[in-house]
Structure 1
Amino acid sequence: MAELAAAEMYAPRTIQVWRTLLNWMAFFFQIFAQILRGTPSFGQIFSYVGLGHGSLLSSAPTQFKPLAVVELSDFAEEHEEAPTGPNPASVPVAGGGERTINSPPFEKLTVVLDLDETLVCAYETSSLPAMLRSQATEAGIKWFELECISSDKEFEGKPKINYVTVFERPGLKEFLSQLSEFADLVLFTAGLEGYARPLVDKLDGGNRFSRRLYRPSTTSTEYREHVKDLSSLSKDFCRIVIVDNNPFSFLLQPLNGIPCIPFSPGQPHDEQLLEVILPLLKHLSLQKDVRPVLYERFHMPEWFQKHGIPASGWTT
């Protein structure tokens, strides 16, 4: 009888233990499923374990949470179905033949491009895992090593040289080539000039950037530092856009911003430049004013307000 009573007391406890174990297993399975669905990049994984870009290269605030991928991928699908603007018309000319009338006579679109995690992803070579470089090479991602001057000094007062490994976003060279055909390109980075200048020299062999702006050209606001004020480039915001993985960079002109997905070498099949951003920029080049299109697409003013930045914090 005593043995039966003990067995009856033991059984519920055993069931409770198994239920608890099953609940924990289900919890971990949900986390694992979310990771598979989210497919985090190497850069995100490194941030989880405390390994990321060196201080020389990092410019985006760590608390920034990028916009969802759907923000841009939806446009790519929509763009394939809808015409991007008026088709060129043909008119007869003297002596026979026809002449093609191209895009509307608007001022050339100015496209301001961020550097780190938008066009490239760079690591201090000494902190770069060899596995990451090998995987990027096998995936076909182009990379190169670079010497750049640090703002730090050696013990004798000489400038310190940093060694950096730079990964190019897939399609970068073709993106710049096609974009330069219909837009005026400006590089605007919050990176230091000693690092960014030699990097862009390497990327921009065709001198496609009409201007290059570095960290001293950024603005500090009560909400964020290193903000990229487009008024330093143009007083007319109808025909200027900025592409940046960090939306806080363009909080002063949110109606002119295109928030792009951050790039890391763990994304070998990234197609943002050629398949998503370039079609959008071509579409914008046909608009008299880019801001209505970008507002309809991203609703950035509301996004900033949701993050505690009122309308008074930016200009139109």
Structure 2
Amino acid sequence: MDNTSIITQLAKPKDEDNICPSPDKVSNSSLKKHRSRSIFSPFFCCFRHYHDHHVEAPPANNKTHALPPPPEENGGPPKCEQVQLAPPAEFLLPEVSIEDYGRSCVVIDLDETLVHSSFKPISNADFVVPVEIDGNVHQVYVLKRPHVDHFLQKMGELFECVLFTASLAKYADPVADLLDQSGVFRARLFRDSCVFHRGNYVKDLSRLGRQLSKVIIVDNSPASYIFHPENAVPVQSWFDEMADTELLELLPIFEDLSKEEDVYSFLQSLKDRTSDICKSSQPAGVALYQRKEISIVI
């Protein structure tokens, strides 16, 4: 098995890449996201990708608890050690606990969302995780995204939090042990819980066993939530920028989302607001998101 195949990562964008790349630079297999100082630019860019590339996805009103059909296989299945193609017999999550009853469920990605990992030594790594691959032990160097501890703490106070990564459990589980020592994640889902669809590992939210109108996915890769883009709060891919503040800046949005009975209307209004900002004649950087005493300038 290729060492890098245990971790699902997006390539680091080049410095000269634009925030919203032109269609000829984007493919369904990568759907890479790019750095920006704007906290809302991911919403506009990601939704524009879906419309520009005519990605086929289930209807937006598919908001039931029924399990979907078996995963689609395109171009032949991947290696058996990398993914399980058979759908689970039951929902992916256990029954909602008493503590989380009434809360929305937030599905949070791992790589390039909360951490960045590398098989190459990193001098300032927060964790070094040994991973066995084909009988050999390899060291994985893990950097934590700035403010991730505070972010997880606050998210655990507001939501039922679930870790859902397309990486293999042999790598992601020990990383999660070190990252989430206070037990914010009620459950952990790995690559074998994904649907392999058109070359991507997709996180099918309809298989969780939760009401979709109360499910939010936080992920740096639009390919991961291609079935349910209306449930997504996109984040910028993170690699090693220690001045990054995106997780901290997203907290006011999640505080508002935690009060919503139906997340669709809030996320749609946020998308519409972002689209209006991008279409307006205002100079870049003249837009505000205000909540209580917090103002985020983009």
TM-score band, normalised by shorter chain: 0.5 to 0.7
Partners of 1:252 and 1:70 in 2: how far apart? 27
Contact 1:255/1:295 (<8 A) preserved = yes
Q: Could you list the per-position Cα deviations for residues 79-132 of structure 1 after superposition, in whole angstroms to 9, with x for gaps in the alignment?
A: xxxxxxxxxxxxxxxxxxxxxxxxxxx9202111000000000001xx34xxxx
Alignment match, 1:170:
146
CA–CA separation in structure 2 for the residues paired with 1:73 and 1:219: 28
Shift in Å at residue 210 of structure 1? 0.6
- In structure 1, the partner of 2:243 is 269
Q: Distance in 1 between matches of 2:34 and 2:41?
A: 13
The structure 2 residue matched to 1:255, chosen from 225, 230, 255, is 230
Distance 2:129 2:261 in 1: 41
**Aligned pair count?**
196
The CA deviation at 1:57 is 2.0
1:146 maps to 2:96: no
The residue identity in structure 2 corresponding to 1:229 is D
Match of residue 30 from structure 2:
63
Q: Distance in 1 between matches of 2:132 and 2:268?
A: 40
Q: 1:219 to 1:71 in 2, by over 3 A?
A: farther
Q: What secondary structure does 1:249 align onto?
A: helix
Kept in 2, the 8 Å contact 1:224–1:248? The answer is no
Output the CA distance in 2 between the equivalents of 1:57 and 1:260. 18
Task: Provide the rounded CA distance (Å) in 1 between the counterparts of 2:181 and 2:213.
Answer: 29
Q: 1:273 Cα shift?
A: 0.8
Cα distance per residue 1:269-301 (max 9 Å; x no partner) = 0001112x22111111111211122123337xx
Paired-residue identity, %: 32
Largest Rg, 1 or 2: 1
One-letter identity of the residue aligned with 2:168: L
Aligned to 2:116: 121
Aligned to 2:68: none
Shift of 1:225: 2.1
Q: Aligned AA for 1:165? A: Y
CA RMSD of aligned residues (A): 2.5
Q: 1:225 to 1:253 in 2, by over 3 A?
A: same
Give me the TM-score of the superposition, normalised by structure 2. Answer: 0.60
Q: Structure 2: where are the runs of 5+ without partners?
A: 12-28, 43-100, 276-298
Q: Which has the higher contact order (CA 8 A, sep 6+)?
A: 2
Residue pair 2:35, 2:237 contacting (<8 A) in 1 also: no
Deviation at 1:248, TM superposition (A): 1.1
Contact 1:188 1:214 (C-alpha < 8 Å) held by counterparts: yes
Residue segments in structure 1 that go unaligned for 5+ positions in a row: 1-52, 76-105, 155-159, 303-316
Distance in 2 (CA, whole Å) between partners of 1:287 and 1:70 is 27
Letter in 2 for 1:58: T
Which amino acid is 1:263 matched to? Answer: W
Question: Using the alignment, how far apart are the partners of 1:218 and 1:71 within structure 2?
Answer: 30
- Asked whether the equivalents of residues 146 and 199 of structure 1 are also in contact (C-alpha less than 8 Å), the reply is yes
Matched residue type, 1:286: K
Aligned partner (choices 186, 196, 209) of residue 172 of structure 2: 196
Q: Any idea what SS the aligned residue of 1:181 has? A: helix
Task: Encode CA deviations 1:251-279: one digit per residue, 9 max, x unaligned.
Answer: 111110111000111x110001112x221
**Per the alignment, do residues 235 and 55 of structure 1 end up closer, same or farther by CA in structure 2, a change over 3 Å counting?**
closer
- In the alignment, the residues of structure 2 paired with residue 114 and residue 293 of structure 1 have an alpha-carbon distance, to the nearest angstrom, of 21
Equivalents in 1 of 2:228, 2:157: separation in Å? 25
| Counterpart Cα distance in 2 of 1:272 and 1:169 | 9
Distance in 1 (CA, whole Å) between partners of 2:255 and 2:201 is: 28
Q: Distance in 1 between matches of 2:166 and 2:159?
A: 22
Task: Answer yes or no: is the 8 Å Cα contact 1:71–1:298 preserved in 2.
Answer: no
Q: 1:69 Cα deviation (Å)?
A: 3.0
Check conservation: 2:117, 2:143, Cα contact below 8 A. yes
Q: Give, in whole Å, the separation in 2 of the partners of 1:228 and 1:294.
A: 19
Separation of aligned partners in 2, 1:164 and 1:220: 25
Matches within 5 A, 1:33-52: none
- Distance apart, 1:71 and its partner CA: 5.7
**After the TM superposition, which residues 284-295 of structure 1 pair with which residues of structure 2 at under 5 Å, given as runs?**
284-295=257-268
